[in-house]
Structure 1
């Protein structure tokens, strides 16, 4: 990433899993990173480890918190040219149980939160591209956007939204030289699994992971994101599906 040392990035869901791994990779290469998540203590640990990490305790479902974060990022880091929309939650349950509160949580974070961050920073990406810099928007979707997993109905639907939205955003801003990438991970060990509240769905997870043998880890996805965002400016990897070798 030597040719991008002066980049300024925003990463959501940065306190654990894929988001944390992305922050570590970017900061380790000299990128200034605004790390957004709700758990401030974990963000401060990252900031203590790496120069150039700005820890911001932000719930992306809260519009006022996002607005305040945008102001701080502009004041303390400058104009953003790389955004990784990673924040999300997975709360599977059989559709007939009708867990409306959990459906709403996933919609608010996986969809509306992503839209809110995109809206906040897309003008920066366009302006950066106009100035001849590399500008990247990376959205983390899921293989669930294309595949059917019983019980993961609403979660998969939110990720299908992300995938289709990302393609449409690219159609609008690609001609303005903003690169837009949709990444769909398969089975990846993160804290998403620990948030599952449905006992039956939670209990089934270990066997599912075991069935693929060697599953993915968060840094595998961070590695892909690093690769995507360090290609020549003329090259946009539009969509990448990342699976454990044995997951079909």
Structure 2
């Protein structure tokens, strides 16, 4: 696969401490992008940055919480100080806390909304000028939002999580009307069942359902999703792979 167009770019990946974010950061760096690793777990980020550097790449560990605008803004300033203007943003940070709505777990609803929706918006706010300025000067500028198949397909007990991902999918669509005319690409990626830490957030009473799905349809690897991100963002700047749904072949 040809990813030459990633060389020399400056990327920010949120949720980079594990899963899709970690795999995406590793792959972007392997193809010549400078990568800012953004997440809450500093030790995990430091270890990942060390691995990337040991393999010849450039990486910066930036501890930040996407639920806090000040934290996001400080992270953005640190990235610019180290690498200059950002031209590739991967909004990947997210939480999945499935329970029946009738349980009334308002604290978990708020956590998912703050991370999966408002967190995405905070990151967009912090880097919009970078992306639009890059595009105005003829460079390639990408915003990638990681949503979920749950934006379209209803799963029992995942109503609030699915609603947050539906918001991300709609937001991506609407942002194209603002960013597209300014030559900034917006790509919305909707994974199906994927091997990530999100699966560990599932309570014991729902774990059987998830395990049954894994056994019947299998799961994508984080590296396979990273490959999709790298492919989409390495196309010529006038080509926008706008909406990509990625499922295990057996997942309906």
- TM-score norm. by structure 1 comes to 0.97
Aligned mates of 2:19, 2:6 — CA distance in 1: 24
* Structural RMSD (CA): 0.9
Correspondence for 1:244: 248
- Structure 1 outlier segments of 4+, above 2 Å: 1-4
Correspondence for 1:82: 88
Offset at residue 2 of structure 1 (A): 2.4
Offset at residue 5 of structure 1 (A): 1.2
The residue matched to 1:158 in structure 2 has which SS?
A: helix
Aligned mates of 2:112, 2:7 — CA distance in 1: 35
Moved more, 63-72 or 20-29: 63-72
Aligned mates of 1:3, 1:180 — CA distance in 2: 17
Correspondence for 2:207: 202
Offset at residue 88 of structure 1 (A): 0.1
- Give the one of 222, 227, 231 matched to 1:223: 227
Aligned mates of 2:23, 2:5 — CA distance in 1: 21
Aligned mates of 1:33, 1:206 — CA distance in 2: 34
Offset at residue 29 of structure 1 (A): 1.2
Aligned mates of 2:73, 2:209 — CA distance in 1: 39
Offset at residue 208 of structure 1 (A): 1.4
Aligned mates of 1:53, 1:215 — CA distance in 2: 28
Aligned mates of 2:204, 2:48 — CA distance in 1: 32
Aligned mates of 1:20, 1:164 — CA distance in 2: 25
Aligned mates of 1:88, 1:45 — CA distance in 2: 21
CA contact (8 A) 2:4 2:234 kept: no
- Give the one of 196, 199, 212 matched to 1:193: 199
Q: Does 1:103 align with 2:105?
A: no
Q: Does 1:132 align with 2:134?
A: no
What are the ranges of 5 or more consecutive residues in structure 1 without an aligned counterpart?
Answer: none
Aligned mates of 1:126, 1:140 — CA distance in 2: 20
Correspondence for 2:51: 49
Offset at residue 145 of structure 1 (A): 0.3
Q: Does 1:176 align with 2:182?
A: yes
Aligned mates of 2:47, 2:80 — CA distance in 1: 22
Offset at residue 68 of structure 1 (A): 1.0
Alignment coverage as a number of residue pairs: 246
- TM-score norm. by structure 2 comes to 0.96
Correspondence for 2:31: 29
1:62-112, Cα deviation, whole Å (9 max, x unpaired): 122111111111111100000000000000001111111111110010011
Offset at residue 21 of structure 1 (A): 0.3
Aligned mates of 2:6, 2:41 — CA distance in 1: 28
1:13-62, Cα deviation, whole Å (9 max, x unpaired): 00000000000001111210110001111111111112311001111111
Offset at residue 209 of structure 1 (A): 1.1
CA contact (8 A) 2:136 2:182 kept: yes
Correspondence for 1:69: 75
Correspondence for 1:17: 19
